[in-house]
Copies of this chain bind each other. A is one copy, B any other.
Amino acid sequence: MEYMTGVKQKETVELGEILACGYEGKTVKVNGAVHAVRDMGEVAFVVLRKREGLLQCVFEEGKTRFDIRELKEAMTVEVEGIVRAEERAPGGFELRLDAIRVLSVPAAPLPFSVSKWKLPTTLETNLDNRAIALRNVRERAKFRIQEGIVRGFRDFLYGQGFTEIHTPKLGAKSAEGGANLFRLEYFHRPAILQQSPQFYKQMMVGVFDRVFETAPVFRAEKHNTKRHLNEYTSLDFEMGYIDDFTEIMAMETGFLQYTMRLLEREYAKELKMLDVTLPDVERIPVVRFDEAKRQVAGKYHRDIRNPYDLEPEEEALIGQYYKEECQADFVFVTHYPSKKRPFYAMDDPADPTFTLSFDLLFHGLEITTGGQRIHDYGELLEKIEKRGMTTEGMEQYLAVFRHGMPPHGGLGIGLERLTMKLLGEENVRETTLFPRDLSRLEP
C-alpha cells in the first residue's frame, strides 16, 4: 500500500534558502524560468526568475554542459551549479553553472520584454497581455503587497475576536436597492449579484458579534474612470456592541497600523522594488463632513455647490488640505448627510440630517465607507417607510432586527483602491489582477 505522508523536501533549493547563507561553495539544483540571457561570448549571464526574486547564473563555455545558443527566454529549466558570493549579483550570490536541463520550451518569443526594470508597454497592452506582463518582477510585486494587505486585514481581525464568514454572491435582493445591479436568471427566477455583503454581515453580528469577509463584489456602474471597477475585492467587517461609531474608525486605524508593520516586516523586498514609503497611520485626523467642505472652500477659494455630497475634486482637496496642514496621508470624514447614505445608516440624534457615518480618504481618494447602523426594528421600518421603499425581499434581513440586534456598525474597504494609493498608482487597474470595467471582460 502506498501512502501520502505530507510535504517532502525537494531536491531543488529555493532562493530564500540560498540567501539565508550556508550554501557558499556548495553544489545545488535550482529550477526557474529563464528571465534574461546576456551572452558575452565565453561567458553568459542567465537570470532565473523564481517566486522570491531573481537568481544570477553564470554560464561558462566549455565548463557548463549545455549549448548556450539553445537557451531561450521564457524556457523553464533546472540548473545545477556551485553557489558563489558575488557582490554585483542580486542578493549577493550567483550560481556557476555545471549543467542546464530544459523543463519546457516556449512556442514563440514574448510579445514584449518582461525582464526590463520598467515594463515597456502602455497600460492597455499590459492588461491585454496581463498574464505575461505580470512576469515582470515589479508588476508582480504589486500583488505581493496586495496579498500583505488582505493578510493583515484577516490576521488583525482574528486577533480582535472577529469570525470570518462566506456569504452568497447570488441573491434575490441587494442591500443598496435596484440600481447598478448585474441581473441574471437563476433556475427561472430573477437573481442579482451582490454589490456588498451588507445585509449578511449585519445578520451575522447577531450570531458572532464581530464578523468579516474578504470577497468579490459586483457593481454594474457605467463609470469609466481611473478609480472604478465593476468587480472588486471588498474587505468588509461589522462589529456589535459598539459604544459609539468612532469605535469602527478606531478598529480600521488598528488594522492599518497592524498591516503597515506586517508589510514592513514581510514585504520589504517588494516595497523597496516599487520604491514605496509607507504612510504614517499612527494618528489619523478626523473631521466632520460639513467642516471639511468649509475648510477646502476657504483655503482653495471654491464655492460649495452641493452641500450634501463630496465631489471627487473636493475629496482630492481635503486630502491635499490634511497633507499640508497636518502632514496626514489619511483623513476620516464623518457625519455624511442622511439623504446620501443608505436607509440602514443611523442618523445622528443630535441632528438627523446627518448620519453617524464616515469615509476614509487616502491621499484624497475614498477607500472606505462605514458607519453605525440602525439596530432597532421600529426605527428601521420607519426609515424604510419614510424613504418610500418596499420591505419586499427584505423579510430575512428585517427578521434579525425584529428578534433583537445589538448596537453595531462596520465598513467596507476597496482592496484595489487601497493598494493603488499605497503604491502611488494613478489607475486602479494597475493594482487589479484582471480588471473588469465597461470595456474589459477578458482576459
Contact = CB atoms under 8 A, between A and B. Distances in A.
Q: How many copies does the complex hold?
A: 2
Interface string A125-167: 0000111101100001001101100110010001011011111
A133 B63 CA distance: 71
Interface residues of A, number: 131
Contacts of A286: 2-4
A172 B439 CA distance: 12
A123 interface: no
A376 to B, nearest CB: 6
A129 B399 contact: yes
Interface string A8-50: 1011101010000000000000011100000000000000001
B184 A163 contact: no
B131 A203 contact: yes
A404 interface: yes
A52 interface: yes
Contacts of A73: 404
Given A134-B207, A286-B4, A403-B132, A376 B163 contact: no
A109 B396 CA distance: 15
A414 to B, nearest CB: 12
Given A163-B143, A376-B104, A402-B106, A131 B204 contact: yes
A436 interface: yes
Contacts of A326: 1
A31 B241 contact: yes
A402 B208 contact: no
A337 interface: no
A442 B165 contact: no
Contact of A160 (B7, B182, B222, B250): B7
12 contacts: A2-B287, A14-B161, A51-B209, A74-B403, A129-B399, A131-B399, A135-B207, A143-B165, A147-B164, A147-B165, A204-B433, A397-B443
